[in-house]
Structure 1
Amino acid sequence: MQTNLAEFMRMTPDGEEAEAILRKCVHCGFCTATCPTYQLLGDELDGPRGRIYLIKQMVEGAPVTRSTQIHLDRCLTCRSCETTCPSGVQYGRLVEIGRKQAEAQVMRPLAQRLLRRALATILPQPALFAPAFQVGVKFRRVLPKKLRDKLPPQRDPGVRPTTSHARKMLMLDGCVQPAMMPNVNTATARVFDALGVQLVSAPSAGCCGAIRLHLSYHEEALDDMRRNIDAWWPYVEAGIEAIVMNASGCGATVREYGHLLRDDPAYAAKARRVSELTRDVSELLPDFENELAERVAERARPRDLHVVAYHPPCTLQHGQQLRGQVENLLAGLGFEVRLPADSHLCCGSAGTYSVLQPSLAYRLRDQKVEKLRATEAQAIVSGNVGCIAHLQSGTNTPVMHWIELVDRMIR
């Protein structure tokens, strides 16, 4: 795709990156076949190819309208189109550039500005989110449905291990997960403890930056990333083996640190190293296949749970291009794992999307739940806190993180 950058975009990092990405697009339209919003709305401008044209016009200096912003807002950033694209178009990076330009040139309605500011302020800060979450749980019945659905059933997280091991890895606890689903971090730590690895959390590490990044608070997002790098760097210098992610949305973002901070002379090299060390938990556990098998063989198989449906998060299968690891791991532990039809499509959670675009998010959720129900599984598992909470709001079938099954099998 030929481009002619406007003067304000020339010789800028965003302009150069946008031009390089746009030049890869050959207008083939394969992406529309796997775009959830295009499937729902049937509008070319609500599919990747149409949004690419809108972004091309923006970087070439065409006026940016509220309509353009709406079409970009409707994008889930699921990046399914990247998996489909035969030309390697990095759409996820391009749409963030487009959103940044739209945000700078179009004034949002006041209600939207307030809501987005609230989300960008409260969600990334556990000190604010945790008490707000507990208040929400207490007054659940009187909350609007789209907020009530963000409060999944609470389960006892159990005790996090404190045993010291020679082998150590970092784990990002996250911003909403410790309050919303503390059992996930506890289960992850217990599994690695049983395998002889201590998971360490850096006290000053916090939100990965994804929330503010996707809400177009770019500088604040970069500050989140710098804070995490500062928190992790002493452990990196000490030879930590890996930075473990059990929320695929966080993992996809941290793996982008090297790119996002490439122009920061103080952080570029450190950011690249952090991205290199980042691993989803599903990438690490196959290295312990024999140890897991031995521990499972020593324990009775759960009688109440054998068949599970797996919803692969978009941030894992498209963002990180990791597919098959979870299914193979659970199958090796004796579970029958069933993928729903159209497992490549988004469930509609997509970070804050389900709050900002509830109508589309609920339609996508209901479609996904229907496909998951057709598997006749006893439980649904996934690998991202947002997906788990969103899906649970639409079904009575238990929805959990797959690491909880592993924890259950080896303890």
Structure 2
Amino acid sequence: MVFEKSLEQIAPDTSQAIDQERERQESTLGMIASENHVSKAVLEAQGSVLTNKYAEGYPGNRYYGGCQHVDTVEDQAIQRAKELFGAEHVNVQPHSGTQANMGVYFSVLNPGDKILSLSLSHGGHLSHGHNVNFSGQLYEVEQYEVDPDTGYIDYDDLADHANQFDPDIIVSGSSAYPREFEYNRIAETAKEVNAYHLADIAHVTGLVAADVHKSPVGHAEFITGSTHKTIRAGRGGIIMCQEEYADDIDSAIFPGSQGGPLMHNVAGKAAGFGEAQTDHFVEYAEQVVSNAKVLADVFNDLGLSLVSGGTDKHLMLVDLRESHPDLTGKEAESILSDVGIIVNKNTVPGETRSPMVTSGIRVGTPSLTTRGFEEKEMEVVGELIIDVLDNPDDEAVHNRVVESVNDLCDEFPIYAGTPLDDST
């Protein structure tokens, strides 16, 4: 019967595409800062029979019967997150970081209220108020920027901006700002102007959990994050908040902005959060940051310009305009992809090109660290990237880089030796 047939039997083209994607991941160096590789345990949880279960509502208060076991899984994810972050209340149902931000906005803002957030071209995120996103269409938004000379946020300037704009909520957080946020400074400013503080830690959720990055807990009423970047708990989002806002947050997620939670994804979060409680995860998070700093040093030593001059976390933003003025971010992404190094084009402060072209690239270390890369490998990778950027049309250089990439991928497989590897 059809029900018992495999994916390869039912949809061989889809099965083939999945196999090809697994091979692509194994045979390339993934350096997109928002991507990572989850464990076999998380894949198992996310591919489980929990995908069959509707569970509208929250543990112990569902709109459907038969939820006793998914209640257990969601409670596990919540409790582990509370322990990891020291949060008073946790909601693990958001489908993504953007959905988590939507939940916060819906809980305390009305249409037309004011958001102050970091500009997209200076490292911010679409869901912080960009005009193509719901957040920029429902609310009045102004944005702060990094200092053009230092690449750092000027918190005195942010405070002046807040006093002039009088926002209802101030958002800290970014998708491409390479420095830690001074959450305490933003909290002080928010208090001065009677605004809420939302700390979006989507990119650094795992680093905060491992205590290798500053935590906004105690400095923000609301904290949102993604669960598939540095924390390796599968695709999804999370909201943490002070207890007094718990009911409003839960109502804003369900029924306010989502229907039934994706219980297989919640299971992935439970598994990933469990992994994040281990000493091994702390070592991984420390290595992520160390690898990024080494890579930044290589770039600086070999002439690349980095926004703010370096990094405090897992990513760096390369501004190509000084070192490679004729090379766009789009072109850099393409030529690096051709040799098996996967980064993404990215806008930079003072950007003059379109977001689809850009003048920079964003480079991250989580995925390579998960594979087992340490400082010496990052030095090699940094030199390979420079070789390609310096010689965009040199086939001999590109062929040499491809060989080195293949050697690194062979030495540090992702899923080889597991049931996911067809060769076992």
Q: Which TM-score band (shorter chain)?
A: under 0.3
Q: Which has the higher contact order (CA 8 A, sep 6+)?
A: 2
Of Structure 1 and Structure 2, the greater strand share is in 2
* TM-score (normalizing by structure 1): 0.27
